[in-house]
Structure 1
Amino acid sequence: MSYAERLQKRIEKTGSRLCVGLDPRPGDGGAAFAKNFLTQVIEETAIWAAAYKPNMAYFEAMGIEGIKLLEDLLAAMPSDVPVILDAKRSDIGETQKYYAQGYFAGWNVDAVTLNPFLGYDSIEPFLDWEGKGIYLLAVTSNPGSADFQRQKLADGRSVFELVTALGDRAKAEGRATDVGYVVGLTNAADVLEKIPDAPLLVPGLGAQGGDLASLAAAGRSAPDVINVSRGILYAADERGFGKRARDWAEKISAAYGK
């Protein structure tokens, strides 16, 4: 089963496109506290989660204990929920080979985010993994996406279209790994018509203020997932993690008319 097929199956099972971001704040009690905190998050949100997205930066900030925590969490994840490792790695091919080996073989995550701006050869080590996926940064949710990603080229294309061309090339070559894209909801309205109907990882809902309307109206068939991190983990209200996840999942479903 391909990564996209597995993700689509999970979306259909849950009726949810919610990706739960796992971003433990290092200053909130260290790795031991973070383990208990995230274990509770996973237990309470699993019924609503189309995917989980641990962000490497938060774990790396806790040092070796944070990496061990991530390993423990990955080993204990519900087997039917895809895991997207938000690593945003970018390096030359030989180094990328070991990143791919570590993430896909060692940690057995289902998908990884990659920065594609070193070119096609830098993503190639991730392209021959059956059943796995990668998400290339195309149009991110921060204002700085205008500095490069949304700049116009002389031929009329935008820079992010060079990124999607890498995914088109991988597909044309019949590579084993599914290629999707990171498209921030805050900047999605003006770019979605130029993004292939491949899996999207969509940050920017909730704390970043993104609007679902443009995404829901795009008529896409790919298994897109919308990430919420702070709105579930750190919302300043009396709801538990599960109730927050349910509310976000229902909000997303309502926007899609489902």
Structure 2
Amino acid sequence: MSISFTDKLAARIEKTGSALCVGLDPRPVMDDLQAVPVLLRKVVEETAPYAAAFKPNIAYFEAMGLRGLEMLEELLPDMPDDVPVVLDVKRGDIGETQKYYAQAYFERLGVDAVTLSPFMGYDTLEPFLEYEGKGVYLLTVTSNPGSSDIERRELSDGRKVYELVGDMVRRSMQEHRKTSVGMVVGLTNADSDILARIPDAPLLIPGLGAQGGDLSSLSGSGHAAPPLINVSRGIMYQNPELGFAEKAQTFAARIREALGY
């Protein structure tokens, strides 16, 4: 039996003492596409000692057309074996279509985990849930202001819409699904009330760095499942006078201090 995604992630966090997820969001430079693979490999190489995971966002690669997708497919086999890769795709579609998304990401590209939109219902998640050793993160409370339009809306029984996503996570656990199921909770909108209302499952937490999220909102949550705190622009593009390794080390230390690692 292969190790679960959650266990692989926990082992990586324990090894590095870091819960930093390094986001790989290459801004398309259409007149010099050859510079992008060089940049990506440099970021991966320099930040790997401080990375609990890497998170390529597929939109940036798709924006470069076929060559962009080729870059992603060429990069993935060269990523460090013990560092989980979470492909940020945010897919949500009917089951038949989702089946092919799952094949594309887990079988063809071979990534460890993906992000999914759960708002079309639990059955749309099922094609992803029978992959041993893989993981999915369900959009739950995202980091954008518009998360209040749907995700943070209150239901007639006093619960919030995002709690329905938590119910899907619990259902996957009760059904003993092979795939680890976690949630995306944006740091800019996270607070103790939200964390108290969702199950103790792996969290992917964007919003630190360029988006200005506050790590103190995570303290004292009581969650034991391994978290990932994502930083993308803050490492790849902010403070260009600093090296990628230096920026990753700084963010990893800030996260460690906030989470008490």
Q: Which amino acid aligns with 2:154?
A: K
> 1:225 offset after TM fit, Å?
0.6
Matched, 1:231 2:209: no
> 1:167 offset after TM fit, Å?
1.1
SS state at 1:45 partner? helix
Which position in structure 1 is the counterpart of 2:111?
A: 109
Matched, 1:172 2:186: no
Match of 1:91 among 93, 98, 102: 93
Is the contact between residue 31 and residue 69 of structure 1 (CA under 8 Å) also seen in structure 2? no
Distance (Å, rounded) in 2 between the aligned partners of 1:74 and 1:49: 15
Which position in structure 2 is the counterpart of 1:5?
A: 7
Distance (Å, rounded) in 1 between the aligned partners of 2:24 and 2:220: 28
Q: State the 4+ residue runs in structure 1 displaced beyond 4 angstroms.
A: none
Q: Which amino acid aligns with 1:61?
A: A
Q: Percent identity?
A: 61
Distance (Å, rounded) in 1 between the aligned partners of 2:108 and 2:179: 17
Distance (Å, rounded) in 2 between the aligned partners of 1:257 and 1:144: 31
Which position in structure 2 is the counterpart of 1:67?
A: 69
> 1:237 offset after TM fit, Å?
4.1
Is the contact between residue 30 and residue 64 of structure 2 (CA under 8 Å) also seen in structure 1? no
Please report the TM-score for the alignment, with normalisation by the length of structure 2.
0.97
Q: Which amino acid aligns with 2:49?
A: I
Q: Which runs of 5+ in 1 are unaligned?
A: none
Equivalent runs, 1:176-187 vs 2, <5 Å:
176-187=178-189
Distance (Å, rounded) in 2 between the aligned partners of 1:28 and 1:62: 7
Q: Which runs of 5+ in 2 are unaligned?
A: none
SS state at 1:136 partner? strand
Matched, 1:256 2:225: no
Please report the TM-score for the alignment, with normalisation by the length of structure 1.
0.98
Distance (Å, rounded) in 1 between the aligned partners of 2:35 and 2:240: 20
Paired residue total: 258
Equivalent runs, 1:116-155 vs 2, <5 Å:
116-155=118-157
Which position in structure 2 is the counterpart of 1:197?
A: 200
Question: Which stretch of the first structure deviates more once superposed, 163-172 or 77-86?
Answer: 163-172
> 1:28 offset after TM fit, Å?
6.5
Which position in structure 2 is the counterpart of 1:156?
A: 158
Is the contact between residue 185 and residue 204 of structure 2 (CA under 8 Å) also seen in structure 1? yes
SS state at 1:187 partner? coil
> 1:30 offset after TM fit, Å?
4.1
Which position in structure 2 is the counterpart of 1:208?
A: 211
SS state at 1:87 partner? strand
